[in-house]
Chain A
Amino acid sequence: MKKYVPYLKYSGITLAILVGVFACDKTIEEPQRVGYTPASVDEKAGTWKTYSLASPEEISVPAPTAVTSSEYVAELATLKGLASNLSQEQKEAVVYWGAGAVYRWNEIARELAARYNIPPASNADGKYPVPDAANPLADPKFPFANPPYTARALAYLSVAQFDALVSAWSYKYKFKRAAPSKVDASIPVALPVSTLPSYPSEDAVVAAASVTILKAMFPGEVTYLDEKLKEHLASRQWAGMNVTSDLSAGTTLGGAIAAKVMGRARTDGMGAANNQALTAGMIEAAKSRGIKEPWVSQEAPLRPPMLPNYGAVATWNFDKATLGQIRPVIPYVVGSAEWQKELDELKSIQNNQTREQARIANYWADGAGSYTPPGHWHRAAANAAHEARFSEVKMARALALVGTAEMDAGIACWETKYYYYTPRPQQFGLKTSVGLPNFPSYTSGHSTFSAAAATVLSYIFPDQATKFDAQAKEASESRIYGLIHYRIDCELGLVHGRKIGEYAIARGKADGSGL
């Protein structure tokens, strides 16, 4: 035995050191996005149909000073100073924001959604306090950025960005002020410069529009958002991309258009979405439609269902008559042979869940603490648009189409959920490997959100249609593998979502973009 001692000692130590070195590296590698020259600057985008404006130039922007004027020459000199001798921190800000204004503000919004996506805790009286917009950082924080809330926040963000950019494009080609570095070649630039006119600045327009929407949606984050806005605007000067008047005109325009978009948000019915007084009537109506055993919260203490009246919020791409027409038919009722078969399927998965089923359930879960399924699909859309080198306005269009489809999907799905008020499998003894949402089962929100987004994305990126469709199907099935939805919830949710996506596509085809 003795002759093995040194061998054991040293092999053990060597192994330990190897694993140790490997275990020590705690750096998290994330995919890095950098700026690009857009595949097309979309010079006609100033004529595209907006969501909120009577005309692209409804909000007026003063004509810029001529590039030969003394004011502009002074602005150029200031810019040259700001763009020279950058600190490491300034360089990093340039690269960060250079990845794209729409791209970054969408990412920021998703992060805020994740940070606010926590259901309130119950208090000592066994009640769940309702988040208070007037006191957003108290416990529970306002908002609870659940999937319907996040779908809506991201929709308004993308719509405001799009409308502001269409207007900016209109003015850009009206005034045709060239980029500073094209006027004065001695301006150092740190990002790709396209032929796009620079007044008003597209970055400033997006930043101001985004901050206006996000401050309203996340009122506890005003300081954070102001810091981001300040850094974004400054980064445009550190990069040598915009003179001060480009930025100030863009900030004013973006803020004014977003304020107009927020006007719609304030009257879209969200204020009544959590009207819990309606649920008793909803349960009676569902019973009259043939539902034998209505949904009951599976939490202790019983938690009021999530936003029971969200189905009454204003839709974007179809009207309320259509909402009723495309509502999925009544699902299998408790006790029927079909229902029993689907419950048995879930029981069988519970007993033998494979690691691959668990992986799919986990990958798509997007539960508490995440940016939710609408955030997941916004991320997919933003990444695809970035990879396709979309201009800012074209990326905003893509995200507005996806974003409005997601909000419509949320509204239509929630309307369906409370129309039928069906029980979750957990009412019949099932557990879950992903966490149980606190609202009725039919139809699956994940399925509706995913099919709507994938349908729109397949229109925008036809070469990736197969992939998006497969992803939507996997997201849908993930809720069966996670044991929280019957198969019919998922399958009819997918059908519903596709129809909802088609309405967004119809809007896109008619917006004058020719895309």
Chain B
Amino acid sequence: MGSFGGWELLAQMPSDAIYMSKGQVCVATMYTNSSWNEYWENTLKRENFNIGTHTTQSVMVMPAIGITNRLNVLLSLPYVWTKTSAGNLMGQKGLQDLSGWLKWKAVEVKGFSINGLLGASIPVSKYVPDFLPMSIGLQCKTVSARILPSYQHKSGVYVTGHWTYSWRSNINVDRDAYQADDRVYNTNEVSVPNATDWGARVGILKRKWQTEVFVENFSCVNGDNIRRNDMPFPTNNMEATTVGWYGKFQPKALGMNARVGYVTSGLNMGQSTSVMVGVLYLFNFKK
């Protein structure tokens, strides 16, 4: 995804109807490289010669734990670093936010399922949130609720959709005044807009492999825009629509996955292309 503040990582949140069986733990270790050389300053699509190409990289460990066959816990913790190819903005790096999801298969009838997910995230380091676009995250605590309906045919073909609402906490910045909504706030407290995201995906899932194409959208529910020729800020109304492909190959315990995404439209975000590759390992604790 667009990556003003590490939001490309949201795309790696659980968006499938696949469950670990009880006692199974699948640990994914993924490397992501997301870069852009154009971004939307408000609605203006532009380049920036003093940024060149902006790159966000991350390594994320994500265990998926089968509590029961219908209830999984997913955890993730990324280490993120940023850089630019031009200009003199200093790259930022560090552990970002620890997030966790409870994923529950609420309804299952003849290949059709409705899944409910509840997630929360919390920053685990004191990275600077308002040095955008170099910051690795926004320092929000978040709570997310997601509904995820899915249908899978006996052939392995599936269709999955999801819709999420994320509550995002206010944050504190190092400065004691800042500009947002065309005014000056005389405080260090900054309101970060809540956000929604949705996705739709079609693919084939077999025992050893999976392939799918998807479209996803991330949108803040409100917020202000980047001012003309200014830098982004956590209050911005960020939005991005991404199309992409995801695949997985896991013949035995060891496997790998990969994802590519390309932002087709956006607001106050970079038009990023992201590539992810990961290694999967399935542990079986079934007694």
B183–A362 touching, CB < 8 Å: no
B229–A1 touching, CB < 8 Å: no
A15 contacts chain B at the CB level, 8 A cutoff: yes
Nearest neighbor of A19 in chain B, beta-carbon distance: B143
List residues of chain B with CB within 8 A of the CB of A435. Answer: 89, 231
List residues of chain B with CB within 8 A of the CB of A111. Answer: 183-184
A266 contacts chain B at the CB level, 8 A cutoff: no
B71 contacts chain A at the CB level, 8 A cutoff: yes
Q: How many residues does chain A have at the interface if contact means C-beta atoms less than 8 Å apart?
A: 62
Listed stretches A151-159, A193-201, A426-434, A494-502; interface member: A426-434
CA distance A136 to B134 in the complex (A): 31
CA distance A301 to B185 in the complex (A): 33
- Min CB distance B211 to A, Å, is 32
- Min CB distance A111 to B, Å, is 5
B106 contacts chain A at the CB level, 8 A cutoff: no
- Name the contact of B89 in the complex, choosing from A31, A140, A366, A431 (C-beta under 8 A): A431
Annotate B70-105 by CB proximity to A: 1 below 8 A, 0 otherwise.
Answer: 010100000000000011111100000000101010
A115 contacts chain B at the CB level, 8 A cutoff: yes
CA distance A369 to B183 in the complex (A): 10
B209 contacts chain A at the CB level, 8 A cutoff: no
A370–B177 touching, CB < 8 Å: yes
List residues of chain A with CB within 8 A of the CB of B67. Answer: 1, 4-5, 8
B167–A5 touching, CB < 8 Å: no
The A-contacting residues of B in range 39-78, CB under 8 angstroms, are: 49-50, 67-68, 71, 73
List residues of chain B with CB within 8 A of the CB of A371. Answer: 177, 184
CA distance A114 to B126 in the complex (A): 27
B173 contacts chain A at the CB level, 8 A cutoff: yes
- Name the contact of B118 in the complex, choosing from A13, A120, A122, A363 (C-beta under 8 A): A13
- Min CB distance B97 to A, Å, is 12
CA distance A121 to B175 in the complex (A): 25
CA distance A8 to B143 in the complex (A): 16
A363–B169 touching, CB < 8 Å: no
The A-contacting residues of B in range 97-150, CB under 8 angstroms, are: 100, 102, 104, 118-120, 122, 126, 128, 130-131, 140-143
B155 contacts chain A at the CB level, 8 A cutoff: no
A115–B49 touching, CB < 8 Å: no
List residues of chain A with CB within 8 A of the CB of B100. Answer: 12
Known A8-B102, A436-B88; contact A31-B169, beta-carbon cutoff 8 A: no
CA distance A4 to B67 in the complex (A): 9
Known A29-B187, A430-B88; contact A363-B143, beta-carbon cutoff 8 A: no
Listed stretches A20-28, A51-59, A176-184, A316-324; interface member: A20-28
- Min CB distance B232 to A, Å, is 11
B90–A432 touching, CB < 8 Å: yes
CA distance A15 to B100 in the complex (A): 11
Known A363-B174, A369-B227; contact A26-B179, beta-carbon cutoff 8 A: no
- Name the contact of B71 in the complex, choosing from A5, A31, A355 (C-beta under 8 A): A5
A347 contacts chain B at the CB level, 8 A cutoff: no
List residues of chain A with CB within 8 A of the CB of B184. Answer: 107, 110-111, 114, 371
Known A300-B86, A355-B126, A363-B176; contact A16-B118, beta-carbon cutoff 8 A: yes
B131–A362 touching, CB < 8 Å: yes
A384 contacts chain B at the CB level, 8 A cutoff: no
List residues of chain B with CB within 8 A of the CB of A120. Answer: 229
CA distance A63 to B67 in the complex (A): 87
A379 contacts chain B at the CB level, 8 A cutoff: yes
A28–B88 touching, CB < 8 Å: no
Q: How many residues does chain B have at the interface if contact means C-beta atoms less than 8 Å apart?
A: 55
Known A12-B102, A426-B88; contact A23-B168, beta-carbon cutoff 8 A: yes
Known A8-B67, A8-B73, A362-B128; contact A431-B191, beta-carbon cutoff 8 A: no
A300–B89 touching, CB < 8 Å: no
List residues of chain B with CB within 8 A of the CB of A245. Answer: none
CA distance A19 to B167 in the complex (A): 9
B178 contacts chain A at the CB level, 8 A cutoff: yes
A16–B176 touching, CB < 8 Å: no
CA distance A119 to B231 in the complex (A): 11
CA distance A353 to B143 in the complex (A): 32
Nearest neighbor of A371 in chain B, beta-carbon distance: B184
List residues of chain A with CB within 8 A of the CB of B118. Answer: 12-13, 16
B191–A26 touching, CB < 8 Å: yes
B23 contacts chain A at the CB level, 8 A cutoff: yes
B175–A363 touching, CB < 8 Å: yes
- Min CB distance A409 to B, Å, is 20
Annotate B32-44 by CB proximity to A: 1 below 8 A, 0 otherwise.
Answer: 0000000000000
CA distance A299 to B230 in the complex (A): 14
Known A431-B88, A432-B90; contact A30-B186, beta-carbon cutoff 8 A: yes
B49–A122 touching, CB < 8 Å: yes
B120–A483 touching, CB < 8 Å: no
List residues of chain B with CB within 8 A of the CB of A5. Answer: 67-68, 71
A9–B179 touching, CB < 8 Å: no
- Min CB distance A263 to B, Å, is 30
Residue among B91, B143, B185 having the largest count of chain A Cβ atoms under 10 Å: B143
Nearest neighbor of B285 in chain A, beta-carbon distance: A1
List residues of chain A with CB within 8 A of the CB of B131. Answer: 362, 433-434
> Mind listing 24 A-B residue pairs with CB under 8 Å?
A1-B22, A5-B68, A16-B118, A23-B141, A28-B190, A28-B191, A29-B187, A30-B185, A111-B183, A118-B228, A119-B229, A122-B49, A140-B229, A298-B87, A299-B50, A300-B49, A358-B174, A362-B175, A368-B231, A369-B227, A431-B90, A432-B89, A433-B128, A435-B231
- Other than the given A371-B184, A430-B88, 19 more pairs (CB < 8 A) read A8-B71, A15-B120, A22-B169, A23-B141, A23-B142, A23-B169, A24-B167, A28-B187, A30-B186, A118-B230, A119-B229, A140-B229, A300-B49, A350-B90, A358-B128, A359-B174, A362-B174, A366-B175, A369-B179
What are the 5 A-B residue pairs with the smallest beta carbon separation, nearest first? Answer: A362-B174, A431-B90, A300-B49, A23-B169, A121-B229
